[in-house]
Amino acid sequence: EVQLVVSGGGLVQPGRSLRLACEASGFTFDDFAMHWVRQAPGKGLEWVSGINWNSGSIDFADSVKGRFTISRDNAKNSLFLQMNSLRTEDTAFYYCVKDLGQQQLVFDYWGQGTLVTVSS
Amino acid sequence: SYELTQPPSVSVSPGQTASITCSGSKLGDRFACWYQQKPGQSPVLVIYEDFKRPSGIPERFSGSNSGNTATLTISGTQAVDEADYYCQAWDGNVVFGGGTKLTVL
């Protein structure tokens, strides 16, 4: 059974940093691209960032480019999102998401969302 | 930037067919997929590459994509299908539609 367990959310002040982690199990982690997708409370889905199996291809949404970084540790079946210079508009549930393949950009498994609240 | 437009809401009676549209420029030239999200839950993939169903998704869910419109069709809609539905495509980066709330009444 595929499981994606996310940790690291919480309340943070504007301008500060936060790091999310996602621990994957139930599949061969380094066979698949991984992504982060977020959803502001009561709003729609927004893709944030994606990384291919060997970290050789990384993309970001324009809204987070230059502030967020994505990384993965295949030895530990883990995905990370480092969020710097956080803004109030970054407040959202953040989902760790598995790609159907190697950057097919189809999201076949979603972890539970972790809430990041950016507020003073 | 590329945009996908969905109706905010669709209503359907139990047992009837629900159709949810997703519009975007030349969307038929790209692959579309659909996600179902129930309150308090994470999204679930229900259709990918226009019409393919992941394992475990009931046959009553189907999809099509042509011209500027992708359509998610739910045949014999059940109360458990009440949820928000999001379309998604790719145009350089991932794009989601704004979501459609499906009400079964």
pLDDT given at position A60: 96
Q: What is the distance in angstroms between the CA of the first residue and the CA of the last residue of chain A?
A: 39
Mean pLDDT for A26-46 is: 97
Residue A37 sits at the vertex; the CA angle it makes with A100 and B67, to the nearest 5 degrees, is: 65
Model confidence at B26, pLDDT cuts 50, 70, 90, reads very high
pLDDT given at position B93: 84
Cβ <8 Å between B43 and A100: no
Cα–Cα distance measured from residue A70 to residue A36, given in angstroms and rounded to the nearest whole number: 9
The β-bridge partners of A24 are A4
The minimum CA-CA distance between B48 and chain A, rounded to whole Å, is: 7
The minimum CA-CA distance between B24 and chain A, rounded to whole Å, is: 17
Q: What is the pLDDT of residues B30-64, one digit of tens each?
A: 999 999 999 999 999 999 999 999 999 999 999 99
When scoring A45, A48, A96, A108 by the number of chain B Cβ atoms within 10 A, the one with the most, hence best to mutate, is A45
Residue type, A40: A
The minimum CA-CA distance between A65 and chain B, rounded to whole Å, is: 13
- For B65-101, the DSSP string reads EETTEEEEEETT--GGG-EEEEEEEEESEEEE---EE
Query: Would residue B93 be called left, alpha or beta, if left means φ above 0 and alpha means ψ between -120 and 50 degrees?
Result: beta
Q: What is the pLDDT of residues A37-85, one digit of tens each?
A: 999 999 999 999 999 999 999 999 999 999 999 999 999 999 999 999 9
Cα–Cα distance measured from residue A69 to residue A55, given in angstroms and rounded to the nearest whole number: 11
- For chain A, the DSSP string reads --EEEEE--EEE-TT--EEEEEEEESS-GGGS-EEEEEE-TTS-EEEEEEE-TTSS-EEE-TTTTTTEEEEEEGGGTEEEEEE-S--GGG-EEEEEEEESSSS---EEEE---EEEEE--
Q: Which residue of chain B has the CA closest to A112?
A: B42
Give percent of chain A above pLDDT 70. Answer: 100
Give contacts of A 2-61 with B, CB under 8 A. Answer: 35, 44-47, 50, 59, 61
Inform me whether the pLDDT recorded for B1 exceeds 90.
Answer: no
Inform me whether the pLDDT recorded for A103 exceeds 90.
Answer: no
Cβ <8 Å between A113 and B42: yes
Mean pLDDT for A25-39 is: 97
State the DSSP H helix or E strand holding residue B9, giving kind and residue range, or none if neither: strand B9-12
pLDDT given at position B87: 98
Q: What is the pLDDT of residues B58-82, one digit of tens each?
A: 999 999 999 999 999 999 999 999 9
CB atoms within 10 A of CB A86: 22
* Nearest Cα residue to A98 out of B6, B54, B74: B54
The per-residue pLDDT of chain B, averaged, comes to 97
Chain B residues touching residue A61 (CB < 8 angstroms): 93
Whole-Å CA distances, B2 to A33, A96, B5, B45, B83:
23, 24, 10, 21, 25
